[in-house]
């Protein structure tokens, strides 16, 4: 096990051992778990049983890992259609926890955990922290929202299991966050990237230099964020910023995480089996090709997800990682297949707007895309929050900035957009996640 | 000799200006003068208040984008040619006026003109040397109270 010692030996945590399994060991474990979970879902979840019966497949037909491609997909809409408890495979007497999505489009989607599921969740979050260089003795300020949202409690349990000190501050009240960060000496911070941006802005307004804080590591997730944004965050606080991936339907945060190499996210494959498929045909794509990430929970008892369509677009990184982890890596998720907007025939992903804004000096990536139709033609308007750094008492300076942003966006996406500068905090945020797109074209 | 001005970014929407004025009113902060620069989409409210630090804090705490800049205030005779006299002095220098606005005050035969210069120190020296009365913050608040 020499690879184990190679990865930050002074802090090696035994819980990370599955990160370094030999490929055949891992695959044996995955197959054993896959067989069990497919049978569990077939026996206990009506929707899974009906779907499998429809295509004439039995749990016994799963003999190899490749056989997974014979199984039908599960979609987000299935959670809504069976609201609230229709996809549970455990009796309520064994369910110890429920979480739910924010439900911006009507009813929330509900997810369930047994005690074993919670333990698995804590262990994968613990491994995520460890791979980002957080260890026992660190002080973790957890600014993910606590509550129905999985972010807060997921990170909380993981950091506690790691042996770190958790500050369960939750999201919001930024002035107090800054005070606590300084006074309690937090050296790791968990937040959505858009909330961390807000912390940076507020610190600047208050004349607080985040570089003077003991912050060493930022763990940012729950929404896509770009490489220029990483540079921005790392420079503002003199810290390392890591991307962490997860979704409540699968478990919450802790499905995958970056390591110190910051080159893609390792998926905790011993619990979550990843596939990349062509979102149009549903076919599994050759390794390395970009497509939609599909995940299967290999050990989640209360609510097994077999081939869940995440809508996140990514690809596998085929080379082994320098950190020594044998877990497969995916590229950072910059976009979701349902995020793609088609404007006047041109494909646009919100993340492109973020990258364009970060190219403009002083501009901050607090934005919202508003789509309307005028005389049958799509109109693209982008609202950008004007922060203190961007503001001037002179109209001409602000208009110059507006022009620079217009130009940066046009050269990035290839179509022109109207840029409207808006007051800070006017763009709606839920659970710290910013709402990026308002499409009024269909109304 | 410079005067502090608070600028606040405003979207050009109903109610936004009054919400700022209400905040100041509730905190008993008196607005000495106010000027508004606007475009189709947004505006910049420029305020001169005595307790500018308190106003800045209050507005920032309430989520506004605020900037403090330094202006030069000069006394202008309230009669034809009063302003022109000052502008001629400025024209003959290389100073640039970014913007300016005026206000009058009670019981005085003159108006106050406030200027945003690219270089306020140089402007103060120039105007003072040409016998223009440059008004300090203390004087301004004394006469406007």
Which has the higher per-residue pLDDT, B89 or A344?
B89
Nearest to residue A395, comparing CAs of B103, B101, B45, B79?
Answer: B45
What is the per-residue pLDDT for A10?
53
Q: Are residues A141 and A18 in the same domain?
A: yes
Residues A363 and A309 in one domain: no
For residue A391, give the nearest of B5, B9, B98 by CB distance.
Answer: B9
CB of B35 within 8 Å of any CB in chain A? no
Q: Same domain, yes or no, for A24 and A87?
A: yes
Of the pLDDT bands very low, low, confident and very high (cuts 50, 70, 90), residue A44 is very high
Q: Give the 3-state secondary structure of residue B135.
A: strand
The predicted model gives A120-143 an average pLDDT of 96
Residue range A2-23: mean pLDDT, rounded? 70
For residue A284, what is the domain's CATH number?
A: 3.40.50.12780
| Residue A33 burial (C-beta neighbours within 10 Å; 0-12, 13-18, 19+) | middle
A71 touches A53 (CB < 8 A): no
Neighbours of B143 (CB within 10 A): 16
Q: What angle do CA A79, A243, A23 make, to 5 degrees?
A: 80
Q: Please confirm whether the linkage preceding A84 is cis (ω < 30° from 0).
A: yes
Q: In terms of residues, how long is chain A? A: 443
When pLDDT is averaged across residues A184-205 and rounded to a whole number, the result is: 92
As a whole number of angstroms, the distance between CA A413 and CA A405 comes to 12
Structure confidence at residue A167 (pLDDT):
98
From residue A366, alpha-carbon distances to A211, A229, A333, A402, A436 in Å are 22, 11, 19, 14, 9
Q: Using CB atoms and an 8 Å cut-off, which of residues 61-90 of chain B contact chain A? A: 63-67, 69
pLDDT in tens, B118-145: 899 999 999 999 999 999 888 888 876 6
Q: Of A294, A319, A336, which residue sits at a domain end?
A: A336
A238 and A312 belong to one structural domain:
yes
CATH number at residue A405: 3.30.300.30
Nearest to A393 among B11, B41, B44 (CB): B44
Choosing from A274, A306, A336, the residue where a domain stops is A336
Test B9 with A425 for CB contact under 8 angstroms: no
CA atoms of A165 and B94, how far apart (whole Å): 61
Measured from the Cβ of residue A325, the count of other Cβ atoms closer than 10 Å reads: 22
ipTM: 0.86
Last residue of a domain, one of A336, A371, A398: A336
Shortest distance between the Cα of A175 and any Cα of chain B, in A, equals: 9
Tell me, yes or no, whether A312 and A351 share the same domain: no
User: In angstroms, what separates the C-alpha of B19 from chain A's closest C-alpha?
Assistant: 13
Bridge partners of B38, per DSSP, are B43
* Residues A361, A364: Cα–Cα separation, whole Å: 9
- Residue bearing the bigger pLDDT, A441 or A380: A380
Q: What is the pTM of this model?
A: 0.77
- Give the tens place of pLDDT for each residue, A138-190: 999 999 999 999 999 999 999 999 999 999 999 888 999 999 999 999 999 99
Write the pLDDT tens digit of every residue in A255-282: 999 999 999 999 999 999 999 999 989 9
**H-helix or E-strand spanning residue A335:** strand A335-336
% of chain A at pLDDT higher than 90: 72
Domains and CATH numbers, chain B: 3-69 (3.30.2130.10), 70-144 (3.30.2130.10)
Q: Does B26 touch chain A (CB under 8 A)?
A: no
Do both A321 and A380 map to the same domain? no
Distance from CA of A399 to the nearest CA of B (A): 9
| First vs last C-alpha separation in chain B | 18
Strand ranges (E), A51-172: 95-100, 110-114, 139-142, 165-167
Nearest to A423 among B9, B69, B98 (CB): B9
Q: Which residues pair with B112 in a beta bridge?
A: B75, B103
Q: For residue A302, what pLDDT band results from cuts at 50, 70 and 90?
A: very high
- Alpha carbon distance, N-terminus to C-terminus of chain A: 60
Q: Which of A10, A27, A4, A3 is nearest to A328 (CA)?
A: A27
Indicate if A298 and A320 belong to the same structural domain.
yes
**CB proximity B40 to A under 8 Å:** no
Phi and psi torsions of A177, nearest 5°: -55, -45
Asked if residues A118 and A96 have their Cβ atoms less than 8 Å apart, the reply is yes
Confidence at residue A201, expressed as pLDDT on a 0 to 100 scale? 86
Tell me which residue of A370, A349, A362, A376 sits closest to A420, measured CA to CA.
A370
Closest Cα in chain B, distance from residue A211 (Å)? 22
Asked if pLDDT for residue A374 goes beyond 50, the answer is yes
Q: Which of A154, A165, A137 lies closest to A192 in space, CA to CA? A: A154
How far is Cα A108 from Cα A329, in angstroms, rounded to an integer?
A: 30
> Do A23 and A36 belong together in one domain?
yes
**Residue in A399, A421, A424 nearest the CB of B63:** A424
Rounded to an integer, what distance in angstroms lies between the CA atom of residue A275 and that of residue A287? 9
**pLDDT tier, B101 (very low <50, low <70, confident <90, very high otherwise):** very high
Q: Chain A to chain B, count of Cβ pairs less than 8 Å apart?
A: 52
Q: Looking at the structure, do residues A294 and A349 belong to the same domain, yes or no? A: no
Query: Are the beta carbons of A219 and A233 closer than 8 angstroms?
Result: no
CA distances from A70 to A11, A52, A64, A73 (A): 42, 9, 11, 9
Of B65, B68, B114, B116, which to mutate for an interface test with A (greatest number of A Cβ within 10 Å)? Answer: B65
Let me know whether A207 and A130 are in one domain: yes
Nearest to B65 among A388, A394, A399 (CB): A388
Q: Does B7 touch chain A (CB under 8 A)?
A: yes
Long-range contacts of B35-39 (CB under 8 A, 24+ apart): B35/B101, B37/A395, B37/B99, B38/B12, B39/A395, B39/A399, B39/B12
Q: Which residues of A touch B66 (CB under 8 A)?
A: 388, 391
Measured in degrees and rounded to the nearest 5, phi and psi for residue A392 equal -140, 155
pLDDT > 80? residue A330: yes
Which whole number is the average pLDDT over A396-415?
90
Whether residue A261 sits in one domain with residue A376? no
Q: What range defines the domain where residue A329 resides?
A: 1-336
State the total domains in chain A.
Answer: 2
How far, CA to CA in Å, does A100 sit from each of A57, A106, A167, A431?
31, 12, 23, 12
Distance (Å) from the C-alpha of residue B109 to the closest C-alpha of chain A? 30
Question: If you average pLDDT over residues A117-121, what whole number do you get?
Answer: 98
Sort out which chain A residues have CB atoms less than 8 A from B120's CB and list them.
none
Same domain flag for A99 and A182:
yes
């Amino acid at each position: 096990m020499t690879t184990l010692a190679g990865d930050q030996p002074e802090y090696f945590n035994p819980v990370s051992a599955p990160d370094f399994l030999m490929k055949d060991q891992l695959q044996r474990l995955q197959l054993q778990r896959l067989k069990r979970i497919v049978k569990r879902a077939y026996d206990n979840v009506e929707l899974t049983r009906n779907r499998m019966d429809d295509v004439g497949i039995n749990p016994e037909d799963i003999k190899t890992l490749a056989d997974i491609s014979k199984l039908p997909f599960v979609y987000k809409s299935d959670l809504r259609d069976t609201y609230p408890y229709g996809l549970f495979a455990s009796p309520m007497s064994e369910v110890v926890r429920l979480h739910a999505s924010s439900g911006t489009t009507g009813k929330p989607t509900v997810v369930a955990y047994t005690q074993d599921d919670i333990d698995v969740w804590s262990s994968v979050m613990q491994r995520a922290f460890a791979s980002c260089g957080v260890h026992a003795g660190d002080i973790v300020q957890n600014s993910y929202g606590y509550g129905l949202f999985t972010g807060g409690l997921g990170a909380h349990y993981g950091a506690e299991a790691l042996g770190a000190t958790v500050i369960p501050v939750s999201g919001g009240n930024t002035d107090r966050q800054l005070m606590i960060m300084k006074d309690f000496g937090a050296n790791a911070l968990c937040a959505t990237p858009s909330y961390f941006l807000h912390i940076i802005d507020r610190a600047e307004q208050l004349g607080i230099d985040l570089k003077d804080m003991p912050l060493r590591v930022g763990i940012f997730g729950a929404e896509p964020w770009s490489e220029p944004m990483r540079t921005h965050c790392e420079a503002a606080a003199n810290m390392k910023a890591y991307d962490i991936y997860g979704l409540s339907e699968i478990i919450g945060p802790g499905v995958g995480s970056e390591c110190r190499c910051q080159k893609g996210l390792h998926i905790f494959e011993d619990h979550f089996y990843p596939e990349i498929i062509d979102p149009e045909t549903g076919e599994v794509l050759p390794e390395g090709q970009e497509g939609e990430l599909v995940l299967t929970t290999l050990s989640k008892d209360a609510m097994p997800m077999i081939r869940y369509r995440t809508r996140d677009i990514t690809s596998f990184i085929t080379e082994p990682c320098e950190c020594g982890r044998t877990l497969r890596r995916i590229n950072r998720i910059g976009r979701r297949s349902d995020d793609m907007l088609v404007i006047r025939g041109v494909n646009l992903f919100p993340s492109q707007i973020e990258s364009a804004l970060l190219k403009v000096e002083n501009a901050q990536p607090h934005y919202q895309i508003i789509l309307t139709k005028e005389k049958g033609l799509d109109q693209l308007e982008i609202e950008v929050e004007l922060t203190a750094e961007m503001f001037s008492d002179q109209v001409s300076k602000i208009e110059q900035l507006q022009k620079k942003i217009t130009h940066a966006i046009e050269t990035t996406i290839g179509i022109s957009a109207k840029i409207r500068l808006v007051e800070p905090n006017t763009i709606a945020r839920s659970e710290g996640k910013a709402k990026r797109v308002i499409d009024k074209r269909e109304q | 000799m410079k005067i502090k001005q608070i600028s606040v970014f405003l979207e050009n929407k109903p109610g936004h200006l009054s919400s700022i004025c209400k905040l100041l009113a509730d905190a008993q902060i008196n607005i000495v003068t106010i000027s508004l620069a606007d475009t189709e989409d947004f505006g910049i409210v420029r305020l001169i208040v005595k307790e500018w630090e308190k106003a800045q804090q209050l507005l920032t705490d309430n989520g506004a984008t605020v900037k403090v800049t330094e202006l030069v205030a000069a006394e202008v005779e309230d009669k034809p040619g009063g302003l022109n006299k000052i502008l001629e002095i400025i024209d003959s220098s290389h100073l640039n006026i970014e913007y300016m606005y005026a206000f009058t005050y009670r019981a005085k035969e003159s108006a106050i003109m406030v200027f945003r210069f690219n270089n306020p120190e140089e402007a103060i020296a120039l105007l003072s040397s040409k016998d223009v009365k440059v008004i300090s913050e203390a004087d301004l608040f004394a006469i406007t109270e």
